[in-house]
Amino acid sequence: MTATAPEALDCAYWRSGRCRSCTLIEIPYSRQLAEKDLAARVALGAIPDDAWLPPQASAPDHFRNKAKLVIGGRAGAVTVGILDGDRRGVDLRDCSLHEPGLRDAIHTVADLVDELRLIPYDIPARTGELKYALLTFSPDARLMLRLVLRSRHHLDRIRAALPRIRAALPTVEVVSVNIHPEHKAVLEGDEEVVLTESTTLPMRVNDVTLHLGVRSFFQTNTQVASALYRDARHWVEPLDIRSVVDLYCGVGGFAHHLSAPGRSVTGVEISAEAVAAARLTDTTPPPTFVTGDATAYLRESPAPDLVVVNPPRRGIASLAMDLEGSDVAHALYSSCNAASLAKDLDAMPSFRPVRARLFDMFPQTNHSEILVLLTRT
């Protein structure tokens, strides 16, 4: 895909100094993409040049399907966005990174918070209730809304307002309240109260409709995530793959895209909620999903033809050595951290990289996703 915007993105929030999140915003997008691709190739010097495919570009703006909004200000006049250096709210409701439908929903949610007189949490004073509004938006304009509270003080008010929320956000599928009583820099607490009958958000990706639970991980950029899964499917097609194990499978994005007649696919995930959501997706033949530890599963089960790993930023650590010592013939590694990916590839010298591509999930930043197909030599 060729980038469609050669010029740098113009943002009023950046120009005014209110937000500095988009660290590459002054660099034309085509140059951003080229420099990120070069940096990945240098960091992953073990991958030969002929294995690399051209980078997968993104739309430079209006690509985010998620909004993680700090609630600041005061009751009746809230800010939705980030915090400044004094831990006070900065309103970014018109951020141009969000998909247009999501941006509209952010405005509506801010208005609802004001109407309901929910009290923003004041970090310096450690008073107030509403900490965050977390929104996820699907290609079919379906919406998930999570409100993170310090306590259950506003819970009944929000529950009673559910008809008003549904009227204002007619495509909302899931509304929940997360209780996060601790004063620390994490987004959510352990307790989640789902207020709607629906507990998952349908997320259409290519010809697969995934289901996202309230805590489910999904890539921030649906367009580029779709390309990632398509490439995974296309790279695997010419191989003689009869069995696949998708470790760290989440809601089953790779597992469902790799499902095919004559092929058994098993997804392994530590989160029981994610496994339950993965089982809701309808593909033929259906993959099997198991709740469990990825490393333990690989050690205790027969070696499949292909292992898929999509780990956290820290990489796969000892699992790389387990793969190296196994009878697995192929591995598909999706990484958001080139440094940990390089370390893991060094621990698997029997595997040869045969395909690699950078996927620009996060324009205007240095972050990206890298997909590598490995074949045992």
Amino acid identity at 247? L
**What would the two tokens of residue 82 be?**
């980030």
- Return the number of other C-beta atoms located less than 10 Å from residue 295's C-beta: 16
In the set 19, 95, 249, 336, the catalytic residue is 336
CA distance 237 to 231: 10
Q: What string of H, E and C letters represents the secondary structure of 29-76? A: HHHHHHHHHHHHHHHCCCCCHHHECCCECCCCCCCECEEEEEEEEECC
H-helix segments, 116-202:
155-160, 162-168
Find the Cα–Cα–Cα–Cα dihedral 257, 259, 264, 267, rounded to 10°. 30
Is 336 assigned a catalytic role? yes
CA distance 169 to 149: 20
CA distance 200 to 308: 24
Under 8 Å between Cβ of 120 and 71? yes
Under 8 Å between Cβ of 118 and 80? no
CA distance 223 to 59: 8
- Active-site amino acid positions: 336
